[in-house]
Copies of this chain bind each other. A is one copy, B any other.
Amino acid sequence: MKLELQIKMNPSLYIRDPEQSELGKNIIKHSIQLIHDNGFEAFTFKKLAESIGTTEAGVYRYFENKHKLLVYIISWYWGWIQFQLNYQTNNIKDPIVKLKKVIKLLSTNVEDDITTGHVDESQLHQILISEGSKAYLTNHVGKDNKQQFFQPYKDLCNAIGDIILECNPKYKYPHSLASTIFEMAHLQNFFMNHLPSLTDFSKSKNESEIIKYLEDLVFKSIRE
């Protein structure tokens, strides 16, 4: 038996579960590829269908619209990060070491994980940097939230918040600091590569400087 990591997805995100068919998996795979290559604005179901070798109507049978598809893949990433977080901090006792792992996990462009066949985690990380906030920065965020679309993100911030509280139980802003780490791990990366004068990192360098910045920010914030 082949072991494949399955991230549990919110069924309201799709019409037909893309994990359950080849076409479905292809939709996810090629969506990630296309959004990574050309950005979400340029992404259309027609282009996606062409790239897979199916028709537009075929894609619409899986996803209502391209926004839900974006939320689906970003949701998948949130779930995957949650899994990695649990896995990587599993046997660690020192919360400071745990928090460092988290910062590194969020900031680092991971290599593609073989246990998830149709998802390229490296491209997905890039998508989160450029498109991640578009999942919630919409007019219908309230509706989407009612449908629990952002639950995996909340769970993640809760988990990170718990580690922060383990480091310092008196720290007042564990959730805000968690969402700040998550968002800034991505945004400082975007700035580093595209608008470097908004950062103190040299363009096209690797993520180690961002990690140092975030560690400095976080550990100074939570020390008593």
Contacts and interface: CB of A to CB of B under 8 A. Distances in A.
Interface of A: 38-39, 41-42, 130-131, 133-134, 136-139, 141-142, 145, 150, 153-154, 157-158, 172-180, 183-184, 187-188, 190-191, 194-195, 197-201, 213, 216-217, 220-221, 223
Contact of A139 (B38, B137, B178, B200): B38
B39 A138 contact: yes
A176 B158 contact: no
Given A179-B188, A187-B183, A195 B154 contact: yes
Q: Which secondary structure dominates where chain A touches chain B? A: helix
A217 B184 CA distance: 13
A172 B220 CA distance: 13
A201 B133 CA distance: 20
Contact of A179 (B141, B150, B179, B199): B199
A192 to B, nearest CB: 9
Contacts of A145: 194-195
B199 A175 contact: yes
19 contacts: A41-B138, A130-B137, A131-B137, A133-B137, A133-B187, A134-B134, A134-B137, A142-B194, A154-B195, A172-B200, A173-B199, A173-B213, A173-B217, A176-B188, A176-B198, A176-B201, A180-B180, A183-B187, A220-B223
Nearest to A42: B139
A134 to B, nearest CB: 7
A200 to B, nearest CB: 5
A71 B131 CA distance: 17
Taking each of A176, A199, A223, which has the highest tally of chain B beta carbons within 10 Å of its own beta carbon? Answer: A176
Contacts of A154: 195, 197-198
A163 B37 CA distance: 39
A136 B194 contact: yes
B197 A157 contact: yes
